[in-house]
Amino acid sequence: MAMLVFSVGENQEIHVRPKAVFCIGDSGRTAEGREAHLTELEKNGIKRMCKGDPPMEFFPVSPILLTQEKSIDVLGEHTTGEVEYVLFYWKNELYITLGSDHADRILEAIHSSFSKQICAKPVADVAWKYSDISSHWDRICLELKVIKDGSECFAQIGAVAFLSSIDVIIDEIKKRGLPHEDGCFYFSGTILLENSMFHFGEACLLRMTDPVLNREIEWEYKVNIMKSEVQYTCI
């Protein structure tokens, strides 16, 4: 398993070997937020899996999908990035970095678990100690810009306050007996889409901003389409 390298502060670097990776779904903090997310997914052809207010889900994906490469390879023209914070454990410390739950949206309409597994999951090369930002966590902001034909447009922008708190997520991880030792990564789930629509493009620019400590994490990656025409078959 490839080692991931993160800068933490000006003079510290940590080397983390991924052990387990989960992508969290239906992680909105409020019932209204979860409903808004489900509604916009329906607008994009992704049906609800259950009636009523859905429980938080944890989708396991292979650790080999985590990457800090600046380009990912995909099949088809219907994959998009999804800006998320990513929490992980290392040496008894909880860290936060920035990532993209890149996924095939046609496959997601067929089966969410498969769509999570089919694309690489880019993560940034900078991480913050959660203990440094816990007191102002809800002021952290996320954004995703998509670059298409040389032009940038916002695909997502909003505060992490839309999502379940770190404490709630960690409680759920422990309650379900999921791994939370060194090398375990959890993608947070995502904020709402601009105009409630997926934005497709040839590159994604992610940003996480801390207005209190006046710093940010940025990560940009290209999307290389290996084959444009893909036939999807629902079995």
Q: How far apart are CA 28 and CA 209, in angstroms?
A: 19
Q: How many CA atoms lie within 13 A of 28 on its CB side?
A: 16
What pLDDT does residue 1 have? 67
User: Could you tell me if 78 and 115 are in contact, meaning their C-beta atoms sit under 8 angstroms apart?
Assistant: no
The first and second tokens of residue 230, run together, are 């893909």
> What's residue 18's pLDDT?
97
Mean pLDDT, consecutive 10-residue stretches, the chain (235 aa), reads 89 95 93 89 81 85 97 94 97 96 90 86 98 97 95 96 96 96 96 92 97 98 93 71
How confident is the model at residue 234, as a pLDDT?
Answer: 61
Domain ranges of the chain: 17-227
Which of these CATH numbers, 3.40.470.10, 3.40.50.300, 3.90.850.10, 3.40.50.720, describes 17-227? Answer: 3.90.850.10
Token pair, residue 122, equals 């880019």
pLDDT score for 229: 85
- Helical ranges in 127-192 per DSSP H: 130-133, 166-175
Please check whether residue 161 is in contact with residue 141, taking contact to mean a CB–CB distance below 8 angstroms: no
DSSP state of 54: P
**What are the backbone angles phi and psi of residue 24, rounded to the nearest 5°?**
-90, 135
Q: So what's the pLDDT on residue 113?
A: 78
Contact partners, residue 33, CB within 8 Å, separation at least 6: 162, 192
Rounded to an integer, what distance in angstroms lies between the CA atom of residue 194 and that of residue 4?
31
